[in-house]
Structure 1
Amino acid sequence: MEKDQRRHRIAPLKTNVPRRMALEVHSHLRRLIISGQIRTGTILSQAELARDLEVSRTPIREAMRMLQEEGLLEISPNQRARVMSIDAEALESLYCRRVLLECLAVRLTVPIMSSDDRKRLRAALDALCTDSCRSNLRNFIQRNSHLHDMMVRHAGQNLIREIRAARETSELYLSLIYASQGKDWWKRPELEHIEIVAAYEAGQSDLAAVRAGQHLAQTAFELLQNFAPDYEPVRLREALKLIGSNTNASAVKD
């Protein structure tokens, strides 16, 4: 195993429900991947995981298949598994989906928010704008997810379910932003979150949707600039036009 692909030993998995073992393993590994504790590009061995988690290979194999279906693992014909690395087109497609779905959900949510909804949204923002989130990616991901849930809470369960699935997959990339931008990585998203919530509080659904779309797209632009600088995100630019954004997306070349 190459040096940059090494991982720390994973703690044993504690479960008292053998018939749910594959689901437990899947959930555990998924959290480790999304939080960045298992980094992109890491090679995962069924034998090593079985030893670390103290389970048999059968639930490991099923859990890895589930992770592959979610796009978090790449498995070759010889069963060599690698945690997903940056695929520029796949990343762009994911964020196009997020931009379009979440902007629709924002437009549906803002007009029918109650005063209590707006207070809860402000509380979610305040919880995110703290030193514990600025210095700990895991805390940031958890609080960020809650804030985005609040932003789309009246969009309907089916749409919310699609949005959450896309967001959870994109959370894998946040560890790359964190690693590539140093200690001040949180400043840009924090400022954008403040602007988005201000639009909610003013009841400006169109502005809130545009700000939310720009916020999501900017994360993708930064990732592409760092990890695929020659890739031109034409589809994402078109998605921004559809939501009424005239942003120039200065994070990437024109």
Structure 2
Amino acid sequence: MTAAKGDRRPDLAEDRFPSSDATQDAPDSALAEDEAADSGRDASTVAYLKIRKDILAGRAAPGSYLNQVHIARELAISRGPLREALRRLEKEGLVVSEKNRRSRVAELSASDAEQLYALRCVNERLAIELSVPLLTGDDLRDMAEALATMHATDKSDEDAWEAAHERFHELAFIRAPSRIYGVVQELREHAGRYIRLLHVERAHAFALVEHEQLLTACQEADAVRAAQIVTSHLARTAFGVLTIIDPLYEPASLRQLMRRVMGGDPVASVRVS
């Protein structure tokens, strides 16, 4: 009897539970759904990074509309992941969505520039104070090389100059704690849209003097002096940008911040040689 019952158990199992093929179908289906979700997220990330890069590099002009059909076709993705990417960019303030579901690149504005540079002043001042005491000999040599490249680069080659410029600052902040460093880098990326306005104005020569001063402060491990130079440089740049965007705009918040951190009002324009 026991043996007979034992022989029947597989039959009972088949009656009560799905067949072995069916049990395999369920996890396979769930796995397929997970893979599809991951694929959608990956596609959204690809779109986000591509559009973000185009906006920050100036290839997507401020105020221009983003052709979602064209972008989806170019990246070979569906509209769902693309809309998710645009929502992320909207949260960053880089894209504006309209009621008709059209999206456009956010305009450059004096208010946005003021807020951005106020944040940069606070965060970059902290980052440089923490980084300078920890800079290595290799860091300082690489900074000097980046500055030499900036000097040697033809003013008409904006990309080469900017690459060396970014490398210089990356090295100056590199020993700051990772979270602070990450915030600094993100703010610098966003500022790129505004910096291009000054490049048109040929402000390289004056900027080089300030970078030479910053390198000297770093070489002397003078974190306080380095912080003052960074803050002054950012303030000068901010006022130059604001003058170009809206000459009548009064950056009260930025002036108040400068008075607190520098004990006085910074020069309100960028002098171009």
Shorter-chain TM-score category? 0.7 to 0.9
- Structure number with higher helix proportion: 2
Whether the 8 Å contact between 1:141 and 1:171 is mirrored in structure 2 is: no
Deviation at residue 176 of structure 1 after TM alignment: 2.7
- Structure 1 unaligned residues grouped into runs of 5+: 1-16
CA distance in 1: counterparts of 2:76 and 2:157, whole angstroms = 29
1:188 has 2:188 as partner: no
Q: Which deviates more from structure 2 when the two are superposed, residues 79-88 or residues 221-230?
A: 79-88
Match of 1:157 among 173, 178, 202: 178
Deviation at residue 125 of structure 1 after TM alignment: 2.0
Residues 100-111 of structure 1 mapped to structure 2, 5 A cutoff: 100-111=122-133
The residue identity in structure 2 corresponding to 1:131 is T
- Structure 2 unaligned residues grouped into runs of 5+: 1-37
Whether the 8 Å contact between 2:127 and 2:176 is mirrored in structure 1 is: yes
Residues 62-211 of structure 1 mapped to structure 2, 5 A cutoff: 62-131=84-153, 134-179=155-200, 181=201, 184-211=202-229
TM-score by length of 1: 0.82
Whether the 8 Å contact between 2:258 and 2:266 is mirrored in structure 1 is: no
TM-score by length of 2: 0.77
Number of residues of Structure 1 aligned to a counterpart in Structure 2 = 232
Whether the 8 Å contact between 2:44 and 2:85 is mirrored in structure 1 is: yes
Cα deviation digits, residues 151-206 of structure 1 (max 9, x gap): 11222111111111111111122223334x2xx34223222212211221222222
SS at the partner of 1:74? strand
1:249 has 2:271 as partner: no
Deviation at residue 218 of structure 1 after TM alignment: 1.7
SS at the partner of 1:82? strand
Whether the 8 Å contact between 1:125 and 1:147 is mirrored in structure 2 is: yes
SS at the partner of 2:96? strand
CA distance in 2: counterparts of 1:79 and 1:188, whole angstroms = 44
CA RMSD in angstroms, aligned pairs only: 2.2
Deviation at residue 227 of structure 1 after TM alignment: 0.9
CA distance in 1: counterparts of 2:159 and 2:97, whole angstroms = 26
Match of 2:82 among 53, 56, 60: 60
